[in-house]
Amino acid sequence: MKVLFIGGTGIISEAVSKHVIEKGHELYLLNRGQRSEFVPEGATLIKADIRDVDSTRKALKGYSFDVVADWVAFIPKHVQADIDLFMDKTSQYIFISSASAYQKPASHYLVTESTPLKNPYWQYSRDKIACEDLLMEEYRINSFPVTIVRPSFTYGVLMIPAALNSWLHPWSLIDRMRKGKKIIVHGDGTSLWTMTHNTDFARGFAGLIGNIQAIGHAFHITSDEVLNWDQIYRLIGNAAGVEPDLIHIPSDFIGHILPEAVGGLTGDKAVSVVFDNTKIKRFVPGFTANVPFSDGIKDTVRWFESHPERCTIDEEWDCLMDKIINSYNLP
């Protein structure tokens, strides 16, 4: 099967790309070629900027694909461009949405694909919802063959996952732990969360590729392991060889000092969430997540330690953490 990934070299998608090739599919990656070190052996790179529709159309001239998946579509304008490019040119279009689109505040802790989509706290999530709405309308009216996938917090060797960490320099959290600095945990640390390893996600995703029963459906793909945030931070510390010095600070207070964190906390990680993966298991028989967080995060820390050039520190982020802690401790 000929598969086109738009993007395909990110934290989640690079694992999926590898797995798709292992499954015997013919994989093409369309991107700007800026992360060529993460293009897996056996994939064909088509160098183009998906935001330039005319140049993308030229780059794709003569190609046809059974399945197209866009890993870098974030707003309706992006998916409308994909609809224009691939209408009647693929048998399946997979849109990567986000589990953060699910109802916040949640009316029930257990999330299924029928949980309403509503997030008044995070523009990123609202944009993903708008993309889903547009695509489902195209499916209903024009038979656009869309499948929607909603990842939750999915990590791999390139990410040290936490509710508060530097996105560009994720080693910053480990550095802070090893220096004995206080580590902020939002709320009281008891809200429930799920961490999913990208290799587990990849196996579920691969089962949807070319699956005609999945057309018109939405799926989340997550681990069934449920942890609270204290456990998550302590497992990260254990992987780093230290006992982290945790300090609990209300999410609202963190958002007051760091407004850009409101979406990711109040609109996502501050809420207890347990995912019901019955649907993906029904459509992809045999799928189950096998990597416990305790093992996956150890692999991540080892990978960073074997790549010292990646162990860079975000001094600005580190100062922000100190600012939040100092402000919270004021009499």
Question: Are 170 and 239 within one domain?
Answer: yes
Question: Are 116 and 13 within one domain?
Answer: yes
Q: Can you point out the beta strands (E) in 144-261?
A: 146-151, 154-155, 182-186, 192-193, 196-197, 218-221, 227-228, 245-249
Select from 221, 237, 260 the last residue of a domain.
221
16-36 mean pLDDT: 91
Question: Are 102 and 87 within one domain?
Answer: yes
Is 38 within a domain?
yes
143-159 mean pLDDT: 97
List the domain range (segments joined by +) for residue 243: 157-193+225-273+291-328
Query: Structural domain tally of the chain?
Result: 2
**Both tokens assigned to 67:** 């399945």
pLDDT at 112 over 80: yes
Residues contacting residue 308 through CB under 8 Å, at least 6 positions apart: none
- What global pTM score does this model have? 0.95
Reduced to 3 states, what is the DSSP secondary structure of residue 47?
strand
Residues contacting residue 305 through CB under 8 Å, at least 6 positions apart: 311
| Lowest-confidence pick of 26-40, 213-227, 260-274 | 26-40
User: What pLDDT score does 331 carry?
Assistant: 66
Consecutive H or E run containing 137: helix 123-142
Residue 329: pLDDT band with limits 50, 70, 90:
confident
CATH number of residue 106's parent domain: 3.40.50.720
Going by C-alpha positions, the residue among 243, 246, 258 that lies closest to residue 190 is 246
Burial classification of residue 33, based on how many CB atoms lie within 10 Å of its CB (0-12 exposed, 13-18 middle, 19 or more buried):
middle
Q: Helices marked H in 38-122 — which ranges? A: 53-59, 76-86
Reduced to 3 states, what is the DSSP secondary structure of residue 138?
helix
Q: How far apart are CA 122 and CA 158, in angstroms?
A: 24
Question: Are 102 and 235 within one domain?
Answer: no
Question: Are 172 and 112 within one domain?
Answer: no
Question: Are 96 and 123 within one domain?
Answer: yes
Question: Are 305 and 247 within one domain?
Answer: yes
Question: Are 25 and 148 within one domain?
Answer: yes
CATH number of residue 296's parent domain: 3.90.25.10
Cβ atoms within 10 Å of 328's Cβ, excluding its own: 15
Question: Are 110 and 42 within one domain?
Answer: yes
pLDDT at 141 over 90: yes
Question: Are 134 and 98 within one domain?
Answer: yes
pLDDT at 314 over 80: yes
**Both tokens assigned to 202:** 């990849």
Question: Are 142 and 246 within one domain?
Answer: no
4 Cα distance to chain centroid: 19
Please name every residue paired with 102 in a beta bridge, in sequence order, or none if there are none. Answer: 117
Select from 180, 204, 221 the last residue of a domain.
221
Query: Using one digit for the tens of pLDDT, what is the confidence trace for 266-278?
Result: 999 998 999 999 9
Question: Are 11 and 112 within one domain?
Answer: yes
Cβ atoms within 10 Å of 54's Cβ, excluding its own: 7
> Which residue carries 């967080």 as its tokens?
293
Is 280 within a domain?
no
Mean pLDDT for the chain? 96
